[in-house]
Amino acid sequence: MKFDQGQWALLPETEAIYPITVTDVRVEANALTLTGYNHQIHSRASYIHGTVITARFSSPMPDVIRVQVTHFKGRRERQPAFDLDYTLDNPTVTTGRDGDHAWLKTGGLSVSVPTSGEWQYTFQRDGDSLTASEPRAVGLFSRDGVTYLREQLSLQAGETVYGLGERFGAFVKNGQAVDIWNEDGGTNSEYAYKNVPFYVTSQGYGVLVNHPGCVSFEVASHHVSRVQFSAAGHSLDYYLFGGPTMKAALEQYTALNGRPALPPAWSFGLWLSTSFTTNYNERDILANIDRMVALGIPISVFHFDCFWMRELTWSSFLWDERNFPDPAGMLRRIKDKGIKICLWINPYIAEASPLFAEGAAGGYLLHTPDGDTYQADHWQPGIGFVDFTNPAARDWYTGKLKALLDMGVDTFKTDFGERIPTDVRYHNGADSERMHNYYTYLYNQTVFELLRREKGDGEAVVFARSATCGGQKFPVHWGGDNSSTYPSMAETLRGGLSLGLCGFGYWSHDISGFNDTATPDLYKRWVAFGLLSSHSRLHGSSSARMPWLFDEEAVEVLRFFNRLKTHLMPYLLDMSREAHKSGWPMLRAMVLEFPDDLTCRYLDMQYMLGSALLVAPIFNPAGDAAYYLPEGDWRNLFTGEVVSGPTWRRDKHDYFSLPLWVHQGRGSAWDCLTAVFGPEHRRV
């Protein structure tokens, strides 16, 4: 949100108050509090009719500083709050005064504040300036009767910013305005399904704004040498993770709010879907599964999309017996083939669902402020929204899902969760604006924990679309409703790279696009990208995604890359354990693995799959690839060619190839990966 009109004026209808003069600094054993007054002090009369803002600095763990900026301390804390570990106590933190400054230090990270004079504070890492809140960076603004608190953290010359969730626009966030507000908007706009108020920079530090509602970021846009963030209210809480590398910052961030759970090994195999609006029944499903197996393309998971339930009743969690007269028997017949079962669900209950009256009577659905069950004509007529702040509603919802697990279902696709209304009342009294993004956390947590209870640790996995801070604990997430075009394939990758830099370890996407139907050319190119992602799913909207529906060669291409992923599985499972242990994504932006290479800061059409494998998908029908190999020795997995970087390359590839290189300096991965594929396996 913009407040200033350049350097000298405010935007129309905007009022501002800034902490200008330091009036007090309190140094405690484990915290530091800075008090600022909005007047310059000339005499005792200057202390009349003013505003005080405080900034409290503390540290939950080494190299992490928490900043709590407050106006009006008497206001109650609003709920919900992000599920962070607020109990952490850092015994290594030190505080003190030194001349004209006071400081707090934790590990190599410190913050310094003046004990008098102009309000500001500076963060340092190992004695060097990292970022700062400069004079008039903190401000209290009023517009249209709403109060906002703002912070601005300085950027160094050339510093680049990443993250803020799964964003489909430019990978480097400098110059962008980003509102952290979940939307069901597809992948071709500034809207996003997974908004996370966390960013990392090329200087190797990260910032989490600890506010689950709408946080407005101006990233080197409104003020071109600062990252600005603001939220409605009289307080602003954020954490600075000192790194000193982006990987270290992600470790610190996920230590505070949770690491990705370890998905079961079977989830890394190929998922096949009925797709959305296609016609299907048990006969068609079994025929497609058998044909895939006969063609040498085994699948790990079969997914039933929306129409496993009767139309206009979503969600009822009842099989449409017109097409599935014996669902338990059908599931058993599929599982006898060694295939897991996934069902589509969402948190909305249509008025025509048998569950609606039950949910409304039990108080399990969201209410209007005057006490009615909240309903909307969206997606299905008259839907209600499950109130996941109500423990009884969670038990009711999971009870319906458990009956499906008992029938033989293994996992759920937890769709939707973005269009959550704000003119509603929650069971626990939560603030509805703060719940808009946080709803998805409770939704996916509810389903994931059910799976963990019923299936055991290491067997729980969902296929989720929406998320916010902490959602990485409930994998896997997929990129939402992309389109069957090369530009959409590129925007899909940008979304995955940005999400990975917010601690999400696993990520997938609809191979060949959800909307429309890909050309055979695009389908084959996207198959290579999709099978070289952590999780791989064939899914679409109005048409199915079996390879024979495109052309004969598509069958060969899918078989080839499916087998390639199978051969890569020992390496991929190692990288999965690394994501679970450290919070590093399996699909990694080049800058994460090569932070000192300036070229890698801007690369978003190639990526590292784990620590050692470089992948550059083909984004054009000609098969042309232009990509960059950073410093080191690289071996082509298909040809065995060894090339020394740094170097740019241009290649041309058929449908059975793409730039796929392993970095020799990445330990055992070199031997593991180069043993996988050679020229003799060109067309397995």
Catalytic residue from among 63, 387, 415, 556: 415
C-alpha atoms less than 13 angstroms from C-alpha of 109 in its C-beta half-sphere: 29
Whole-number Å distance between alpha carbons of 502 and 507? 12
Question: DSSP strand E in 479-574: where?
Answer: 507-508, 536-538
Catalytic residue at 481? Answer: yes
**Cβ atoms within 10 Å, residue 233:** 20
**Nearest residue to 341 via CA among 319, 357, 365:** 319
- Residue 221: φ, ψ to 5°: -120, -65
How many C-beta atoms lie closer than 10 Å to residue 655's C-beta? Answer: 20
- Cis ω for the linkage preceding 59 (within 30 of 0): no
Q: Which of 4, 166, 418, 521 is catalytic?
A: 418
Of the candidates 525, 513, 493, which has an alpha carbon nearest to the alpha carbon of residue 625?
Answer: 525
How far, in Å, CA of 396 to CA of 283, rounded? Answer: 33
Q: Could you tell me how far CA 164 lies from the centroid of its own chain? A: 8
Active-site option among 218, 459, 481, 593: 481
End-to-end CA distance of the chain: 54
Residue 207 makes CB contacts below 8 A (sequence gap 6+) with 153, 198, 199, 200, 227, 229, 238, 239, 240, 241
* Interatomic CA distance for residues 543 and 557, integer angstroms: 19
DSSP letters, 397-436, are HHHHHHHHHHHT--EEEE-------SS-B-TT---HHHHH
In sequence order, which ranges of 310-413 are alpha helices (DSSP H)? 327-335, 354-362, 391-407
Q: Is 406 a catalytic residue?
A: no
| 52-61 and 31-37 strand pairing | antiparallel
β-pairing, 235-241 vs 64-70, is antiparallel
Looking at residue 549, the DSSP 8-state letter turns out to be: G
Beta strands in 182-267 (DSSP E): 195-201, 206-209, 215-219, 226-232, 235-241
Residue 257 host element (H or E): helix 246-257
CA 235 – CA 233 distance, rounded (Å)? 6
Residues involved in catalysis: 415, 418, 481
